[in-house]
Chain A
Amino acid sequence: MHGWSGKILTVNLTERTTAELILPAEVYQRNIGGKGLCGELLFDHFRYVWDDPRLPLAFMTGPLNNTSSPTSGRMTVMSRSPLTGAVCDASVGGRLGTVLKRAGYDGILVTGRSGDWCGLTINESGVALQSAGHLAGFAISDLHARLTTAPGMQSGAHAMVGPAAENGVRYAAIVFDGHYFAGRGGLGLVMAEKRLKFISVSGTLKTDVFDRNELKLAREEIYRLVAASPVLTGDLGLTNYGTGALYDLMRSRRMMPTNNFRQTYFEPAPSMNAYAYKKRYATKKFGCAGCHILCKKVGERGEIIPEFETMSHFSALVGNADLDAVVAANRVCNETGMDTISAAVALATYAEITGLQMTPEVLLKMLEDIACGRNDGALLGQGALRYARESGRPEVAMVSKGLEFPAYDPRGAYGMALAYATSTRGGCHLRAYPVAHEILRKPVATDRFSLSGKARIIKISEDMNAVVDSLTACKFLFFAASLEEYAKALQGVTGMRTSAQELLKAGERIYYRERIMNARNGFTAADDDIPARFFRESGSSSESLRIDPINRSEFLRERAAYYRIRGLDDQGLPTQEKCRELDLPC
């Protein structure tokens, strides 16, 4: 095969055995890689609860990893979420996807549970499990430093879990190469439950490319579109300001979640924007393997500059106007290895219920309590919904399927409301990312205050992003490029004849399979919803811009249309007919 190595490493931590799984070429072609392969391999095991040793944790690369295709350094991690019980996958950057291919594997499938903390090492000498008990309790930066100085691993790549995972935080992350997070839904806790502390990989193999000239032409087309994209490479775009470039825009559109989504406008925001970070920290850029956009930012003294969601939630959402506190809060989450979005929403929920003011001191203390599982932090570490339920105020948790909402208030972009509701992962902006067209005008602008026609747009976008996460490419690139160009890149790498629309069909199958997996675990239309607050309360209007509650009837009508388009019944459940069409077991 070209593009794929044809081998997946399986690791049974209970038995402490490893093996190589060889899949037929058509399985690769049908699932592409990344998210698609994860779903294929987890499908029959998805009824296991998150802490059942039989539940797999999958790390899968895509056919474009370790090639010159733009943004080909990513990979997908998938398992069942300890936070939500739903499908949980994360597209993650860094270098591990590339290096794993260099080691000769398309992915790693981990099952079982080790008796003690262990680490998995893959290098030219082979695959080994080693004791990692001595690494427990280390902050992520210290752990990463130790892993990178291990013999033969200086140019390796590493995935690891930190103290938050060790302490049972349900939104603990897996951290890649010290900075890149498989952040959402608690994949870190799944890894910790298996007592797998780290994975370290090095390798030097090349990935076979079918037609280098076709790949080169595709790359040129993609680069041309990226250069033409103001959002990516414009003076105000991600290259210069990182994802924080969105901060001013969300404020100006009055859709910045503020004080636990009770308002949508944060007065101090102009002094806490991406420009403010750039000035204060003299930022430089860095990024994932195989990417020329380099959207991550680091200060001159090594401070990691928060991403947009973190910037917004540790300021507006919790009512904090101290820029340095945002950086410090980000550092706590990074060093302990936990999702900033869920942590911030849990704290905002806490602040609303208790009336506590989130001063910088309180903010940092409570984050540390969450990561360490102490005081009120122990319950907050179980997620906003569990905390709110325990407090008798479940309506205050701003979640869908138990996953906390990121920094886009759906009252300012109605497609986002539907996308949050239908996401197989829960309160996630990345499955359909309607902000692209509702706010960023890509590929063209749509009316952000209308649900009309959004059902089909959301469905198509979910299918498209399922492909992107299977390739595995970066979603940001699709502000500029499209599957038309990436189909050409995929053809160039693998030799597989395909097109944008054929890839969308593969994406439809990949996404529908996740609906089946969730349905088998009891998820229904009741879970495809967003909190009542968004239907009852207005956002923060101005004289010229009204931010009204979303019309519940219109929302339900469009959700019903989504079910019809997606081939689900009126309870959001898979149908025999659609399963047959997609060749999936129902």
Chain B
Amino acid sequence: MLKLLHKYQEKLVGHGLCEPGKPLVGGVNDTVIWNRPDPLTAELEAIIAALNINSIIFARPTEPFFSILNYHCRRSDAELVPEDTETRTFLHSIPVARSMAAAEIVPLLRKRKGCVVEGHGVIAFGTVSPEQAFVVFSSIIFSAFVKFFVDYAYARHAGVADMAAAEILPDVLAAYDRFLPAEADADLESGAFTEEDDILRAMARAGQATVDARMVDSFFGNISYFAGDTVYISQTGSSLDELEGCIDACPIDNSASTGITASSELVAHRDIYLAGDSRAILHGHPKFSVIMSMLCFEAACENRGKCHIKCDKQRFVADVPVIPGEVGTGPRGLSNTLPPAVHGRRGAIVYGHGVFTVGKKDFRDAFASLSAIEALCRQTYMRIIAGPVQD
């Protein structure tokens, strides 16, 4: 257990979400153990005692995320409700506490998997593994970040001067630049690959590069390669920086169901391969791509509020289509909307969710496209908010 606590402490730091030495990670079996001593553990153990859980994380996020969370806390009564896919599907809402008192936090965690504590940080728990707490922690940060920029752009467009946001914006952007690596580049192998060992190695490297470039939080995203009659794809809930032993080989005729643990996007990946000449697909959640996907200034659109499933406009960021689609295979699922959108293009952005890019022979062009689309989206966003406030 202690090994797991340290693993997620290191992940929080390694992913730039927390400063070294800051995260508190607790594991619960018949006793509670911590990754390090801290005066706050007593209050956190009071929270643990009131809940049926097996792990908990508390940490103050790094900038710009901490400032963004506090900004949201100041403007929210009881909870935030971002509209990105991670919130809609998994978090539902993000409750807000005003103090670290167990009496205030326990009722919030009885309903939700995590919460924000104004001026302190984020608390998240797991019932099976600290990995759940880590995923919730990073999702809260992601969703709050996206909401901040989406709300700001819409406010400007609506002619509402959000002075509080405008005031912190320069620092937020500067801190975000520090959060990103100096260069979003990767030394990836050239393909095409035919041997399984080569495929698995190439996928592991591309996955690691995507996480290192901060274009996906570990755990989310997926990756695949098509060779012969098999799609090699990352498993559901696998971390792109920990792909060893977490890639399923799925025959395209479905003659074996070993890949039942494969990513929920297996069908979308397979249909992209079958409809074109790609061999590699990379899916990340780069933040400004997600933000741009959620910005649509179409006046009086009847699908407003249901864009993620009902948008029927031809939307693009430059040459990259923005499409609706929910995770998985449902009637409004990505398995239906993504393959036609990607056909003949370098990739597509899924509303509120992330970016899928394709590679002809290997992951080099898929990774380059992912980076380029994110850079394009950030530039586009900055142009939007640099324009005059609409009246």
Contacts and interface: CB of A to CB of B under 8 A. Distances in A.
Contacts of A499: 110-111
Nearest to A415: B128
A234 B27 contact: no
A504 B52 contact: yes
A522 interface: no
21 contacts: A224-B327, A228-B326, A230-B260, A235-B270, A236-B250, A236-B254, A236-B260, A236-B262, A244-B257, A246-B257, A249-B261, A270-B256, A274-B257, A275-B254, A275-B255, A275-B256, A445-B129, A445-B235, A453-B27, A455-B30, A501-B51
B127 A457 contact: yes
Contact of B267 (A224, A235, A244): A235
B329 A235 contact: yes
B264 interface: yes
Contacts, number: 163
B131 interface: yes
A248 B30 contact: no
Given A227-B329, A484-B113, A245 B127 contact: no
Interface string A66-90: 0000000000000000000000000
A443 interface: yes
A262 interface: no
A237 B109 contact: no
A229 B328 contact: yes
Contacts of B240: none
Contacts of B260: 230-231, 234, 236-237, 241, 245-246, 248-249, 440
The 10 tightest CB contacts between A and B, nearest first, are A227-B330, A501-B110, A228-B327, A228-B328, A499-B110, A561-B30, A504-B52, A236-B257, A227-B328, A564-B30
A247 interface: yes
Interface residues of A, number: 59
Contacts of A464: 127
A455 B128 CA distance: 10
Nearest to B89: A224
A475 interface: no
A484 B89 CA distance: 12
Contacts of B89: 224-225, 228
Contacts of B264: 228-230, 234
Nearest to B126: A444
Given A227-B333, A500-B110, A501-B52, A437 B128 contact: yes
A452 interface: yes
A223 interface: yes
A453 B1 contact: yes
A234 B329 contact: yes
Contact of B111 (A441, A457, A487): A487
Interface in A531-562: 561-562
B257 A233 contact: no
B132 interface: yes
A22 B339 CA distance: 56
A111 to B, nearest CB: 35
A501 B328 contact: no
Interface string B117-149: 000000000111101100100000000000000
Contacts of A252: 258
Given A224-B88, A233-B328, A441-B236, A456 B259 contact: no
A442 interface: yes
Nearest to B253: A275
Q: Which of A231, A270, A457, A501: most chain B Cβ within 10 A? A: A501
A98 interface: no
B257 A441 contact: no
B266 interface: yes
A315 B315 CA distance: 53
Contacts of A442: 236-237
Q: Which of A229, A233, A244, A444: most chain B Cβ within 10 A? A: A444
B54 interface: yes
Contacts of B53: 460
A460 B54 contact: yes
B8 to A, nearest CB: 11
B11 interface: no
A61 interface: no
Interface residues of B, number: 52
Interface in A460-511: 460, 463-464, 484-485, 487, 499-502, 504-505, 508
B328 A456 contact: no
A235 B235 contact: no
B263 interface: yes
Contacts of B127: 443, 457, 460, 464
A241 B255 CA distance: 11
Q: Which of A225, A484, A508: most chain B Cβ within 10 A? A: A484
A283 interface: no
A446 interface: yes
Contacts of A244: 257
Nearest to B53: A460
Contact of A275 (B1, B27, B52, B257): B257
A275 B256 CA distance: 6
B308 to A, nearest CB: 10
Q: Which of A246, A457, A564: most chain B Cβ within 10 A? A: A457
A273 interface: yes
B112 interface: yes
Given A227-B326, A246-B260, A452 B135 contact: no
A556 to B, nearest CB: 13
A233 B330 contact: yes
B326 A453 contact: no
Nearest to A240: B254
Interface string B16-55: 0000000000011110000000000000000000111110
Nearest to B252: A235
Q: Which of B27, B259, B266: most chain A Cβ within 10 A? A: B259
B52 A273 contact: no
A221 interface: yes
Nearest to A440: B261
Contacts of A561: 29-30
B92 interface: yes
B241 to A, nearest CB: 15
A565 interface: yes
Contact of B29 (A440, A446, A456): A456
Nearest to B263: A230
B266 A234 contact: yes
Given A234-B266, A248-B258, A463-B52, A484 B92 contact: yes
Q: Which of B126, B254, B328: most chain A Cβ within 10 A? A: B328
B139 to A, nearest CB: 13
Contacts of A437: 128-129
Contacts of B236: 230-231, 441-442
Nearest to B262: A230
Contacts of A221: 92
A275 B255 CA distance: 5
Nearest to B233: A230
A445 B257 CA distance: 19
Contact of A230 (B28, B29, B132, B266): B266
Given A236-B262, A484-B113, A444 B237 contact: yes
Interface string B305-347: 0000000000000000000001111100100000000000000
